[in-house]
Structure 1
Amino acid sequence: MSLSGCGRDQGQEAGEPRPVRAVVIEKSKLGETVELTGSIQPETEAALSFRIGGRMVERFVGAGDTVKAGQLLARLDPQNEQNALRSAQARLTAAQGRLREARNVFAREQSLLERRYTTKTQYDQALTAVETAKSDIEDATAQLKIAQDNVSFTELRSDFPGTIVGRAAEAGEVVQPGQVIFRLARTGGWDAVFDAPARILRDAPRDARVDLALTDDRRVTAVGRVRQVDPQADPTTRTFRVRVTIQSPPPEMRLGATVSGRVRLDATAAIAIPAAALTESDGRPSVWIVDPGTMTVALRNVKVARFTRDAAVVTEGLKPEDTIVTAGVQALHPGQKVRLLEAGP
């Protein structure tokens, strides 16, 4: 009975091809558009701080203020520095007096030595006193310059025009050298900053165009170009920081605003097939190929680059004009005859 049953199955398979749906594939250029969310940040931002410590007595600007190059932003109490400046000026005046006195003594000893009314030792001592007085002048001049610089360091001024995007101290506070007082964004350049996965960076073209829009108002748009990609991924998110220069940003795109960026990845020669056409062979993705001459099927391994919502993008294993089975793939075996119910162009 087993043998007769098997014979009937084989006869049925030989006489009745299995109906399947299939499509004839075409190779095309496929490019994916991706969208990321980021924020607007200044292209150049500097942390401004005093070079000396002290009590801040005046603050002239706040967050959001526009400043010019060299504009006074804040001031420390200059009392100690001004006292040190007056002391340095007095030391220089005293050193200058000692030099004049030493030169007078030296001139007298030189005259006496020529007439043999003094000793060579006293002459040498007078000459040494002049050289020492000159050194004192140089030291006092340097100390005066330091004191003058310290007085100027009690004033914090902007190095370039820009916008104050943050402040970290108030009048009355005692601040330390190097402590951040303001954060200044340079005028003339905004960046849209995104965190992008490595796959997007691999497929994105160089100097990619990015279409930008405010997330809370899609009518506000701009165009940007990729300016910088961080060389190292974030250790937590494994994404790369990407900075996009915004070309002629509209006034509505303010610092800190949330924006979306759309970029089209490089088009690659590939074949998009229905995801239902995929099966598996030896742990690798495969498809059933229909031989149009014998109307039999054979299994062929393929390489899938990526998946879209309802398709698989294949880069290896298929060629144009191949006919692949798109429905009924799980019920087939190699060499089986099939009958096409529907074939796509």
Structure 2
Amino acid sequence: MTHTAQTRFSRKTVAIAVALVIGIGGWLVSHPSQAAQEKDKEKAKAPTVLELSHSDLATVEHGYLTQPVALSGTLSPVKQTLIGAEVEGIATEVLVRNGESVKAGQLLARLDTRELRDRVTASAANLERARAELKLAEKDRLRSTDLLKQHFISPNSHDATESKYAVAQAQVKAEEAQLALAQKSLDHATLRAPFAGVIYERHVDVGSRVAIGQKLFGLVDLHDLEFEAKVALAELPAIKAGQAVSLRVEGFSSRSFTGRVERIAPMADNGTRMVPVYIRLKNDDGQLRGGMFAQGEVAVAAAETDHLPLSALRGLDGKAPYVLAVENGKLVEHKVQLGLINQISKTAAIGAGLKVGTKVVAAKLDNIKAGQQVKLPDDTHAGEPAKVDAKKAG
């Protein structure tokens, strides 16, 4: 064999060997070992474990649960008034300012009384003159009566005397009324607080001329407040006068107040079909102010019962609500009997059937059902099965 032939044989041998190696490698890649296949099958059969977080769970609790009706409105003082001028005049004294507390009968302002005093003096003088004329008319009447008995005067003459006497009596009454009006006007020139409270408006200054009917001061008593709440007709039968109302007022997030249903309007609003309900509350320390927004709730039913958040209940759109409880690492379906529902705290009574402390799924996770294996956040067993985060399930 020549050198050239040997070279060709050697190249051919190498090519065949390379081809065999590539072919065998490809077969091994496309046909894994039996052990690897079995391992993959076991892994595929392993159940998926949902890892639940604390936010995914709720706990059955036992306690006092109420079914409230929510109420809201703006606080307003029960007793408030605007003090206006009842006579015309110039303000000579203004003794209070906005925000000042005043006592019942306290002097607020005084108008110029010189002209009013002159009117009182004149009316008093007119009354004295009328009384003097009445005395004279009475004497004439008595004399006329005697003369008539003796037939010294005619009946017509006596009637004229009686008429003068009646006119004199009427004149006295008229002058007494005029004096009373003048004295009343003089009294009205001095403005006083009709009740104890706080000045919240002032529209007069010293030297200002005020007209009759002009509003000068606003006075409010903050010890008793109330607010008007609108209640739906469906909830109205449960509302009764005298029921306690728990209140939260803006600006007092850490403090709660208690009021009572004072009265209920006899008719619903034509537009909203809501009925006004009036809640009254004491404000002895004077911390609350008119115009503050208040939210409250009146408990129309209450019971001591097992309860869960509404988010943990499933099947509420059907006739058989249920929960998914965690028992021995699995989800178990339990039917529940709904009782009181608190729409404010989003809590519902579930009756008996689940032990207090039982963990249930509260999060609305996709594709979970009874029998699903789960892992609680405080579960210390790692386990071999494959795991998937509950938030990514489905």
User: What TM-score does the superposition give when structure 1 sets the normalisation length?
Assistant: 0.62
Is the 2:223–2:282 contact (alpha carbons within 8 Å) kept by the matching residues of 1? yes
Alpha-carbon deviations, 1:103-135, whole Å to 9, x = none?
Answer: 333343334334433222112211221122112
2:31: which partner in 1? none
Contact 1:54 1:176 in 2 (8 A): yes
- Give the whole-Å Cα distance in 2 for the aligned partners of 1:298 and 1:70: 70
Q: Quick check: 1:135 aligned with 2:170?
A: yes
Pair member with larger Rg: 2
Amino acid at match of 2:281: V
2:159 alignment partner, SS class: helix
Instruction: List aligned pairs for 1:42-121, cutoff 5 A.
Output: 44-121=79-156
Change (3 A) 1:37 1:166: farther
The corresponding residue for 1:314 is 348
Deviations 1:225-252 (A, max 9, x none): 315657469999x8977443245x39xx
Kindly indicate whether the alpha-carbon contact (under 8 Å) linking 2:245 and 2:260 is maintained by their aligned counterparts in 1.
no
1:338 equivalent in alignment to 2:371: yes
Equivalence for 1:245? 282
With over 3 angstroms needed to count, the CA separation of the structure-2 counterparts of 1:60 and 1:106, relative to structure 1, is same
Structure 1 CA distance for aligned equivalents of residues 59 and 99 of structure 2: 61
Deviation at 1:148, TM superposition (A): 1.1
User: Which residue of 2 is the match for residue 305 of structure 1?
Assistant: 341
Amino acid at match of 2:259: V
More strand by share: 1
The change in CA–CA distance for 1:227 and 1:185 in structure 2 (over 3 A counts) is farther
Q: Which residue of structure 2 lines up, in the alignment, with residue 182 of structure 1?
A: 217
Select the residue among 151, 156, 181 that pairs with 1:146: 181
- Give 3-state SS (helix, strand or coil) of 1:106's partner: helix
- The alignment's C-alpha RMSD in Å is 5.4
CA 1:18/1:272 → structure 2, altered by over 3 Å: closer, same or farther? Answer: farther
- Unaligned 5+ runs, structure 2: 1-44, 377-394
Cα distance change on mapping 1:313 and 1:279 into 2, 3 Å: same
- Equivalents in 1 of 2:109, 2:72: separation in Å? 37
Q: Identity of counterpart residues, as a percentage?
A: 22
The change in CA–CA distance for 1:288 and 1:332 in structure 2 (over 3 A counts) is farther
Give the aligned length.
Answer: 309
Alpha carbons 2:75, 2:227 under 8 Å: kept: no
Distance 2:359 2:348 in 1: 13
8 Å CA contact retained: 1:30, 1:269: yes
Aligned 8 A contact 2:247 2:297 in 1: yes
Q: 1:176 to 1:331 in 2, by over 3 A?
A: same
Opposite residue 341 of structure 2, the aligned amino acid is A
